Amino acid sequence: MNHSIYSADRSTHLKIVVVALVAGIALAGFGISARIGSDETWASTRVIKAGAPVAVTNSNASVVQ
């Protein structure tokens, strides 16, 4: 068994390229299917509208304006 990529023969390089292409296509397919599935749940999400401004502090002091 040859443990160096530099001295590997042609068939070993071809195997590496094929495995990389198959993994890339599988990853792209998974990403596309995950993206398509998430659009359906996004459309049914409620919209929250902004209300009046609120000031949040961590003290109990009264605010005089």
Integer Cα distance of 61 and 63 in angstroms? 7
pLDDT band at 17 (very low <50, low <70, confident <90, very high): very high
| pTM given for the model | 0.49
Distance of alpha carbon 37 from alpha carbon 6, whole angstroms = 43
23-49 pLDDT, tens per residue?
999 999 998 887 665 445 555 667 778
| Residues 23, 15: Cα–Cα separation, whole Å | 12
Q: Which DSSP category does 5 fall into? A: S
